[in-house]
Amino acid sequence: MRNSIFIATLVLLISAPNAVQSQPMSAAEAFALPQPPPDRVVSYGPDVRHFGELRVPEGEGPFAVAVIVHGGCWLSDYDQGYMAAFAEAVTELGWATWTIAYRRVGEPGGGWPNTFLDTAAAVDFLPELAARFPLDVDRVIAVGHSAGGHLALWLAARARLAHDSPLFVPDPHPIDGVLALAAAADLEYLSQNQTCGNAATRLMGGLPSEHALRYVEASPVRLPALDVPQILVNGELDETWSIPADRYFDAARLHGVASVERRAIPGAGHFELVVPETPSWEVVRDALVALEKAVGNSLSDEAD
């Protein structure tokens, strides 16, 4: 059943006029690819955007969970649909996938602080979800693309927030590893460069000079995840989003984070990273396998 999406995706890519691409895949091309339906759509809160798409591998489980966070510059123009084939492929690797929706800039309640609170609530809902489905919520990674890469890194670091932060929640569900694909990991840099229609400034409700503390609490480059295995993957042709990832990598290392890696994919742009059956998928798959081993080892160490 799930293998059919790989076949459909591969056929579409091969039959496209420019199957062997001379330039990076466009957003329109990525959004036009097949979007297989999830096993379940489950609400995690009262808002129309408070839902997640659940996919569970065949078998008894329980299965480790990959929380998948979509990108799109945090804007209401884009939703989780383009990540469906990617989520299906990750599920094929043996992960249960929880592809979360959240309020975005341009719709009621979107932006600071609710975009962050929504993604946090979707993760904190996992124990309740595990009461209904065979999920191992002691093994959870966050996988995000672009703006979703920013949110995935933030989810792994949010336990460090001060108690008086508007983003603070007690006892946040831990993230055991992060795969950040083309991550928008430096909000101040993106605001200063007005990237993606000045989306970072709109997300934060103003400039860094106007809301300095917000940027400290919400930008991974200022609040890196500690003691969590992290793999950053970027396409070499995707300069716009490689620079924030590079800046995050440098900041994380300066903060003493040893378990952070950078991987670049030759010939890839922004969207190939989340399209199965492209050459980029092999690199992304290998990163997921590496994270699975790292998460397993870290949990074994804690048990010892």
The share of the chain scoring above pLDDT 70, in percent, equals: 90
CA atoms within 13 A on the CB side of 68: 26
Q: What is the mean pLDDT of residues 44-70?
A: 97
* Separation of alpha carbons 55 and 40, rounded Å: 7
pLDDT of residue 22: 55
Identity of residue 224: P
Q: How far is CA 90 from CA 7, 49, 81, in A?
A: 15, 23, 15
Q: What is the CATH number of the domain that holds 9?
A: 3.40.50.1820
Residue 16 has pLDDT above 70, yes or no: no
279-303 vs 84-92: helix crossing angle, rounded to 10: 60
Q: Return the H-helix or E-strand segment holding 217.
A: helix 212-218
User: Buried (b) or exposed (e) across 223-254, using 16+ Cβ within 10 A?
Assistant: bbbeebbbbbbbbebbebbbbbbbbbbebbee
Residue 145 pLDDT grade (very low, low, confident, very high; cuts 50, 70, 90): very high
Rounded (10°) CA dihedral 9, 10, 12, 17: 140
pLDDT tens for residues 287-300?
999 999 988 765 44
Tell me what the pLDDT averaged over the chain comes to.
Answer: 91
Q: Which of 209, 216, 222, 81 is nearest to 148 (CA)?
A: 81
pLDDT tens for residues 182-201?
999 999 999 999 999 999 99
* Separation of alpha carbons 12 and 160, rounded Å: 44
pLDDT tens for residues 205-259?
999 999 999 999 999 999 999 989 999 999 999 999 999 999 999 999 999 998 9
Q: In the chain, how long is the greatest CA-to-CA distance?
A: 55
* Separation of alpha carbons 99 and 143, rounded Å: 9
Beta-bridge partners for 65: 96, 140
Q: Which of 244, 280, 291 is nearest to 66 (CA)?
A: 291
Q: Map tokens 């904190």 to a residue.
A: 124
pLDDT of residue 11: 30
Q: How far is CA 189 from CA 17, 65, 125, 215, in A?
A: 37, 31, 32, 11
Region of poorest pLDDT, from 27-31, 124-128, 215-219, 269-273: 27-31
Q: Which structural domain range is residue 94 located in?
A: 3-15+24-303
| Number of domains making up the chain | 1
